[in-house]
Amino acid sequence: MADRTVAHLVVDRLRAWRVPRAFGCPGEAIAPVVGALDAAGGDPEFVPARHEESAAFMATGHAKFTGGLGVCLATQGPSAVHLLNGLYDAKLDSKPVVAIVGEDVTGPLGEVHEEIGLTRLFGDVCHQFVRYGRTPEQVPALLDQAFRTAAATRSPTCVVLPRALQEATVPQLQPHTAGVLTATPGEPLARVLPHQADLDAAAALLTVGQRVAILVGQGGRGAAEQIVALADRLGAGVAVSLLGKPVLDERLPFHTGVLGEVGSTAAAQLMGGADTLLLVGTNDPWTDYFPMPGQARTIQIDIDGRRIGTRYPVEVPLVGDATETLRALLGQVADRPDRQWRATVEGAVDRWRTEAAAHAAAPAEPVNPQLVLRELSARLPHAGSVAVDVGSVLSWYARHLQLPPGVDAQLCGALGSLGCALPYALAAKLARPDVPVLALLGDAAMQLNGLAELITVAHRWQDWADPRLVVLVLNNRDHSGLGDGRWMPGVPGRRADVPYAGWARLLGLHGVRVDRPELVGAAWDEALAADRPCVLEAVVDPAVAPTAPEPALADLRSLFADGDATRRIRDRMMAAERQIVEAEDLV
């Protein structure tokens, strides 16, 4: 029997932490670990990507779609540098990812080919934990600490393993280093509830609020039942962040949609009229759309106390699990008989939905991109996953794609990096090969890394129980898109017009190209019925640009016909302040 090496030990630790696969690009400095993974019989498996950035996005996508630990592999030098974008995605969206980086440096340090100071390189993005392995005896505890830190802090960590160490024979290990008892990665390590005094203060504030708005982020996952029950009890309206879009059933009559520049007018109006704001697990950056400072008394629920008050002034902080905290609040908040505010919110939702439908039906040359997403909304399978890229497609997704309950959707939220959707979709499909997956992206993202990662799709799809992975490419044939939250007008011909559907067919996949609006629905039917992955290329009008809704300040001013907004807003705030003080005196 061949001697066991540290590379085999790495495989053992991945298995112990229930990591089903690791994503990466093979290279000399990580070759022993890749070889041990190849010999592991798929438990765990090694998934080769075309580029290390895609591998890191796949690892982060795995963490986002499964709630587990993502793992990516790379070698020193440029390979390690390429991991950074996907790891920053994990850091900013709070997902546990472990990067295992191989190093093959011989001779004196300082002038070696491809040598980069790896601890400094990863020192910011993996600031919670970056360590070098030095001896075989260190490796089990080192890896366990990296995995444990990633899970506990919901952040990326990094372990650097020199190639000579990976090849080293493993000595007889002490029993206590041979196994680890883990918490479920990505989940709270304990049941966390706010102090009762804080719950009492939050319940009192919600009780006296006359116009309650609830903003839900990704931290509200799993708490849909409690959010809806509390909204019904208070007669509140609900808006969501982009990351919170899959949390609630979007067909609810008081669901105003996504808040922000890519969101709905109804969500902006909800914030513009609110006197009380409940933030549930959100770190939404579009603070221009929050109520004006001083307008709304605010409660924030978050499992991470470091986030409370970073986006908006908070009066009552509630550090705890969203589900448990909301359940506790429900026991202290009475039903509100007056439904005037709820009726106002539902009216705004009805107007917005009519407006959105009209926008999608507007003529365009050749196809209105909003129509493409709206036609998918009626056909979206009631299971599976959706991965969304950055660009104008993000706006159309936010406004026109209605997610059925049970359909998960993920995007690069805080970082906003182009090129995430197809790696995300691959990670989602590998995690659940029996359900359909859709990737929504523009031609810029497709040219960035999508064309290459279609090779990975072509290599893997025949192992999937359900072969459907549909890649929508909105081909507007220029350089327009959303960059840093702003629409950038394009220059026709700046980007090459690639035959995306044709490229898919060359790889043995299915390809559909549609450039007539009356055929968009049939194109979706064909793509979703294909017996293999499909690229649906929609040739869309670059002149159809997202327009941001008016933020809360403008909406508040529009409430007053006489134009004396400042005086009336001040009077309204002073009256609300008096009501709350009187209520607190009674409590």
What average pLDDT does range 114-140 have in this prediction?
Answer: 92
What distances in angstroms separate CA 493 from CA 55, 479, 490, 503, one per listed residue? Answer: 31, 8, 9, 20
What average pLDDT does range 127-153 have in this prediction?
Answer: 95
- pLDDT tier at 105, thresholds 50, 70, 90: confident
Q: Report helix, strand and coil shares of the chain as percent, to nearest 5.
A: 45, 15, 40
Amino acid 189: pLDDT: 64
What average pLDDT does range 290-311 have in this prediction?
Answer: 93
Strand order in the sheet with 510-514: 408-411, 385-388, 437-442, 469-475, 534-539, 510-514
- pLDDT tier at 428, thresholds 50, 70, 90: very high
Side chain identity, residue 340? Q
Instruction: Kindly report the CATH number that applies to the domain delimited by 362-539.
Output: 3.40.50.970
**What average pLDDT does the chain have?**
89
Phi, psi at 520, each rounded to 5°: -65, -45
How far is 341 from 250, CA to CA, in rounded Å? 19
Amino acid 385: pLDDT: 97
Nearest to 534 by CA among 514, 512, 506: 512
Amino acid 293: pLDDT: 84
- pLDDT tier at 560, thresholds 50, 70, 90: very low
Amino acid 555: pLDDT: 47
Q: Full-prediction pTM beyond 0.85?
A: yes
What average pLDDT does range 201-215 have in this prediction?
Answer: 96
- The CATH architecture of the domain made up of 6-167 is 3-Layer(aba) Sandwich (3.40)
pLDDT tens, residue by residue, 46-83 = 999 999 999 999 999 999 999 999 999 999 999 999 99
What average pLDDT does range 500-527 have in this prediction?
Answer: 98
145: Cβ contacts below 8 Å, ≥ 6 apart? 129, 131
pLDDT higher than threshold 80 for residue 179? no
pLDDT higher than threshold 90 for residue 488? no
- The CATH architecture of the domain made up of 196-352 is 3-Layer(aba) Sandwich (3.40)
Phi, psi at 70, each rounded to 5°: -95, 145
Nearest to 427 by CA among 15, 66, 4: 66
Whole-number CA gyration radius for the chain = 25
